[in-house]
Structure 1
């Protein structure tokens, strides 16, 4: 596995699929991902899994250009803290610069942004380095849509590109995409890109300039096998205790192969899982009002007693005492 993004990059997928007669539950079931992922937009997500979601969503509603269609609804400023930071730059040129400096740090890896000015034409391109067949193509369409919206944040919502370069094949596909993008589309491009008048680079935004995005769950920049296992296990934890066989299948490995690879990196599945459970338990205890039994069941413990013993092993305190101390620290009386 190479690239990661945040779940927020999926955009308003639920509403889009449902309003067109599809079922988002079926989409996530076929991809074998927890639907709760949509409620956790900052969680790191393997790019290959996003490719699968976009591909299956397109099949669900019968739209071969699903990525572009949903792209009409996306907003760069809603794309995690990264998007808000980019669109709060003083000018469009500044926003593009922020995108290039921050994309692989704050939002998505294995993704290459390029920008150049040729005479009076600006060309902004995006390329995904992971393979993914149809899903990768759908993600390219979605990526171009985010670039378009990024420009619109500075020049107005009615703006359209001078040209969209697409990796689609043939004039028929280009013509279909022109209806979605409402702009000329060139097919068979080596990378996806948007072109526009370079004079727009000086367009000023309306939002106050922000500092760099705050601390968010880390995106693995140079992932090793243990990072891949941890990221997938964190996703599985949204719907209960992660199963090693599920993680192995996502990595196209057998259980034994996964265990050998972790052992070679000085790790084990049980050790990684224990750390994830600890972090998730502390987050639930300190940031929600759920009782201990509810949290125990959510994390896959058979009863509150087993969970409380594990929590005390992690923190030295029982959950109720830990919550009380944390409450007093955060909200002093």
Structure 2
């Protein structure tokens, strides 16, 4: 069974800001991607990777700017990657940094993806790939990721450094000339997206390693990408907008209602059990931190009956 990738919602804010700056409607962009606007206030919330791909594609169509992903990631750099950026800045060499990123990315930032180095004689490919089967927004997401990969290498080789070549999948790239200008090199097409540069660069030393005790050196909670965890995250998202339903969750996962039920049963749980746990957890948080009545908390958690101790 193919996995359902999860990612953190950190790119949501910059995307919304770029859409507004271009005169577009973030509400319309998020609506097309079926993502609640409340995520703008929760950058560490987990969402489906396929939903992020849809959001990037929707933003591009809204403002007519195919170079938007490259513009966002090259501007933000590794600082936007949170704990992944910390791992980069803590490494002694570029090669060590890329090995760290390969190891921790699926744990802390984004599952169902691969990022790492493949050597081919005198050249290295620092690549990125989405393992989940989805086509909507795939190429745009590659461009977004490649901008962050470029920022990683430039931490060691300088802001003016340019790769020998950038590779993306597919046979056509909208906005190719502008994206080449942002990346500073030619873009080619191939079976795997990535940056190509001389292998010897992997020995480059870190010119500015972070000091122990930096306030941004903390780690995120690991991402759990099993099916039950995906269902729980989707229910929690739906609580922000409407009453969650098993049919809506199954549709977001690309499954039939019965298939979702069967696969959850295979893991020893049921949709109703996950839903109850998510609602109870949300209610506990609201009871502890907000001056709300029991009725208001029931409404916020989409409960039809008053909560009982």
- TM-score normalized by the length of structure 1: 0.79
Match 1:203 to one of 188, 203, 206: 206
Match 1:269 to one of 258, 268, 271: 271
Between the two proteins, the alignment pairs up a number of residues equal to 302
Could you tell me which residue of structure 2 aligns to residue 31 of structure 1? 33
* 8 A Cα contact 1:11 1:74, kept in partner: no
Could you tell me which residue of structure 2 aligns to residue 67 of structure 1? 69
Could you tell me which residue of structure 2 aligns to residue 193 of structure 1? 194
Q: CA deviation at 1:128?
A: 1.0
Q: CA deviation at 1:102?
A: 0.8
* 8 A Cα contact 1:232 1:247, kept in partner: yes
For structure 1, which segment, 273-282 or 246-255, has the greater mean C-alpha deviation from structure 2 after superposition?
Answer: 246-255
More helix by share: 1
Structure 1 gaps, min length 5: 313-333
* 8 A Cα contact 2:70 2:143, kept in partner: yes
For structure 1, which segment, 95-104 or 228-237, has the greater mean C-alpha deviation from structure 2 after superposition?
Answer: 228-237
Could you tell me which residue of structure 1 aligns to residue 223 of structure 2? 219
For structure 1, which segment, 80-89 or 288-297, has the greater mean C-alpha deviation from structure 2 after superposition?
Answer: 288-297
Supply the distance in 2 between the matched residues of 1:103 and 1:296 (Cα, whole angstroms).
37
* 8 A Cα contact 1:33 1:236, kept in partner: no
* 8 A Cα contact 1:233 1:242, kept in partner: yes
Match 2:132 to one of 120, 130, 139: 130
* 8 A Cα contact 2:84 2:104, kept in partner: yes
| Partner SS for 1:220 | coil
The C-alpha deviation readout for 1:230-255, integer Å capped at 9, x for no partner, is 22112223335423332122123444
Q: CA deviation at 1:184?
A: 2.1
* 8 A Cα contact 1:112 1:127, kept in partner: yes
Supply the distance in 1 between the matched residues of 2:229 and 2:159 (Cα, whole angstroms).
39
Q: CA deviation at 1:295?
A: 4.0
Q: CA deviation at 1:26?
A: 0.4
* 8 A Cα contact 2:286 2:292, kept in partner: no
* 8 A Cα contact 1:88 1:210, kept in partner: no
Structure 2 gaps, min length 5: none
Could you tell me which residue of structure 2 aligns to residue 324 of structure 1? none
Match 1:42 to one of 34, 41, 44: 44
* 8 A Cα contact 1:237 1:299, kept in partner: yes
| Partner SS for 2:114 | strand
* 8 A Cα contact 2:261 2:271, kept in partner: yes
Supply the distance in 2 between the matched residues of 1:238 and 1:84 (Cα, whole angstroms).
31
* Rg larger in structure: 1
Q: CA deviation at 1:89?
A: 2.7
Distance 1:203-1:121 versus aligned 2 partners, 3 A rule: farther
Correspondences of 1:142-157 after superposition (within 5 Å): 142-157=144-159
Q: CA deviation at 1:18?
A: 1.0
Correspondences of 1:1-333 after superposition (within 5 Å): 1-10=3-12, 12-118=14-120, 121-170=123-172, 174-185=176-187, 187-197=188-198, 198-199=200-201, 201-209=204-212, 214=219, 216=221, 218-221=222-225, 223-224=226-227, 226-239=228-241, 241-286=243-288, 288-292=289-293, 294-301=296-303, 306-307=306-307, 309=308, 312=309
Distance 1:278-1:89 versus aligned 2 partners, 3 A rule: farther
For structure 1, which segment, 101-110 or 156-165, has the greater mean C-alpha deviation from structure 2 after superposition?
Answer: 156-165
Supply the distance in 2 between the matched residues of 1:76 and 1:18 (Cα, whole angstroms).
23
For structure 1, which segment, 196-205 or 147-156, has the greater mean C-alpha deviation from structure 2 after superposition?
Answer: 196-205
* 8 A Cα contact 1:48 1:131, kept in partner: no
Supply the distance in 2 between the matched residues of 1:298 and 1:171 (Cα, whole angstroms).
43
- TM-score normalized by the length of structure 2: 0.84
